[in-house]
Chains A and B, each alone.
Chain A
């Protein structure tokens, strides 16, 4: 292990000295805050094609339809996408930006949860960039300066194997029913997985808590553990197929994706968004200020927010940030949109301070709640 770490450090140092990127933060592309700064979309495409490559990090092809997104971008612009560590974490992606300043291996564009984007912003790693549809992104879902903005997201949902569970639970309250003994799982632990973390917040909302007070969420899982309903195993497509996690709390787009993939394996995976704990989170896009391919990074973000890109998200069951606007002007894929579970009201998000407070409370209280 030690040897590997050192070898990596060495090679990092070597590339750091040898290869200074030809175009970087200081170039014209590196300062562009919109396509207009390039002299229009066509010029941006041309500049990006000239760079020919795009570095991204931890974009799992099976996650929210990222596989199709990357293929579509490569095909459309002939730009090679280097997707490093596709199964990696948000922290890894942040490191790939923070620790490789000035290298041509640095990540160009970041896809991160809000807390990590805020960390990137305070580390001054983000280059503000406003995409074509900027004004149509709801105000609560973007930073006023354009340093990052919501891209796609979804709601905490309850997936349920309708063959194994006769009556599927539709709310957090239902989950406490003794008939679900040994059946309810999360897709990870809330100190590591953002969907599990959000599930605790959603459970808190369902039990009289709020963004400032997540204790009711912890208490809910404590009760769930105590009455034997909670299974600590990490739910995955495999455990669902095996029947080990017949009920799984996860993002609706992931649960819906499992449902589609497992249909052919004979699993009837039903997905509902709990009415008592409706909570959504979005992933954000941001451009690395030190992007080695500044034009390609900006073109990638433009592509993600184009109707084509947003519809690819929709096909992967997530809710793109421009969905409302696209439904208005008719550019949204109606068939795909119809598959999403119904939700009511506008989504509410915790502030950075509230999220930090929730992180602290959950990291301190989760172990005690479920052990």
Chain B
């Protein structure tokens, strides 16, 4: 049998006694050079550019400064304030908006990307990819103004379709969802396209020749294979929506309570004085939420990756 041949130890010839070990050592030696120094720059960068600001944020969030004497002391005051009253409402509002837009953007983005892949039309693909690249970066105040001009109370589209009579108002939670999807869906399209390309045609043919319907193919093959990418995309979408600020600030002010707007008010406004540490406590809450989302996503992703293995 050829089996013995293929499984023999390297450097041995069948029928010959295995060579002595010492000869192997010099050849293997270079591999034992520690590899961790290669990641030192990365960790140094992370510690400096991520660790230091995060540490400062956490430290100051737990510090209260007396406005008159300037004396500071450790206290939970900022954190408890940031989790009560209007700040709790703002945090909940942000989470709700981000979850909803993340789910919608993930679903819509994946469907659009799949349509592009299925079309096998390279011109269409190029057009969609470049347009998505542009639209994914069209956000903030310019986007808000574009929406105001088209869908605001006196917007062109609003008047054309008489949307006001249908009870539509851009300056609501729904309006914000629309505006957010405008840049999130294209972002999802560019994110998920490569993964969809990885879905091979042969798999579908194989499934079909085993008698699977289209729905069965997606249920048992397509979606499980894509799940890690989709989950990753969903987390990215959540993060994008969660951190967005300017669009909402211009469009709805604080009539839709969002944590990012409250942080901006406390940190860099023209009204609230001496609330910087409260803003940092709110930022800390955001970091915790983001970590929670990632923590939930990791086991889910691991499960679907194991399924793939």
> Which A residues form the contact surface with B (CB < 8 A)?
2-3, 5-7, 9, 88-92, 113, 115-116, 118-119, 122-123, 182, 186, 188-194, 197, 225, 231-234, 238-239, 242-244, 356, 359, 362-364, 366-368, 370-371
Contact = CB atoms under 8 A, between A and B. Distances in A.
Contacts of B89: 367-368
A2 B50 contact: yes
Interface string B245-274: 000011111111100011011011111111
A203 B273 CA distance: 22
B86 interface: yes
B114 interface: no
Interface residues of B, number: 44
Interface stretch (B96-104, B146-154, B216-224, B226-234): B146-154
B270 A119 contact: no
Given A233-B251, A363-B272, A367-B255, 11 more contacts: A116-B270, A189-B249, A189-B261, A191-B262, A192-B269, A192-B270, A244-B154, A363-B86, A364-B86, A367-B254, A368-B86
Interface string B150-179: 001111000000001000000100000000
Given A186-B253, A188-B253, A238 B68 contact: no
Grouping DSSP codes into helix (H, G, I), strand (E, B) and loop, the B interface class, with mixed when no group exceeds half, is helix
Contacts of B270: 89-91, 113, 116, 192-194, 197
Contact of B49 (A2, A89, A116, A367): A2
A7 B53 CA distance: 11
Contact of B148 (A192, A239, A368): A239
Contacts, number: 139
Interface in B29-56: 48-50, 52-54
Given A91-B268, A189-B254, A238 B86 contact: no
A156 B264 CA distance: 24
B70 interface: yes
A57 to B, nearest CB: 12
Interface in B116-165: 145, 148-149, 152-155, 164
Contacts of B265: 189, 191-192, 363
A118 B68 CA distance: 10
Nearest to A192: B269
Nearest to B47: A6
A3 B45 CA distance: 9
Nearest to B172: A232
Contacts of B67: 119, 122
A163 to B, nearest CB: 12
A242 B254 contact: no
Contacts of A90: 269-270
A3 B42 CA distance: 13
Contacts of A119: 67, 273-274
Nearest to A198: B271
Contact of B70 (A123, A189, A371): A123
15 contacts: A115-B273, A192-B261, A192-B269, A192-B272, A193-B270, A193-B271, A194-B270, A231-B171, A238-B145, A242-B154, A244-B154, A359-B272, A367-B86, A367-B90, A371-B254
Contacts of A371: 254-257
A198 to B, nearest CB: 9
Nearest to A365: B86
Q: Name the 7 nearest CB pairs between A and B, nearest first.
A: A232-B255, A189-B253, A192-B269, A191-B265, A189-B254, A6-B49, A194-B270
B85 interface: yes
Nearest to B249: A234
Contacts of B53: 2, 5-6, 9
Contacts of B68: 122
Interface of B: 48-50, 52-54, 67-68, 70, 85-86, 89-90, 145, 148-149, 152-155, 164, 171, 249-257, 261-262, 264-265, 267-274, 276
A5 to B, nearest CB: 5
A188 B268 CA distance: 14
A242 to B, nearest CB: 6
A281 to B, nearest CB: 11
A91 B267 contact: yes
Nearest to A246: B154
A48 to B, nearest CB: 29
Contacts of B250: 233-234
Contacts of B48: 6
Contacts of A243: 154
A239 B251 CA distance: 11
Contacts of A234: 249-251, 253
Nearest to A362: B271
Nearest to B54: A2
Nearest to B243: A1
Nearest to A358: B271
Contacts of A2: 49-50, 53-54
A191 B254 contact: yes
B52 A9 contact: yes
Nearest to A58: B270
A122 B148 CA distance: 42
Given A2-B53, A119-B67, A363-B86, A242 B271 contact: no
Contacts of A89: 268-270
Nearest to B250: A234
B254 to A, nearest CB: 4
B274 A190 contact: no
A116 to B, nearest CB: 6
A338 B14 CA distance: 109
Contacts of A363: 86, 265, 271-272
Contacts of B249: 189, 192, 234
Which of A89, A115, A122, A371 has the most chain B CB atoms closer than 10 A to its own CB? A371
Contact of B271 (A192, A225, A232): A192
A2 B48 CA distance: 9
A272 to B, nearest CB: 22
Contacts of A189: 249, 253-255, 261, 265
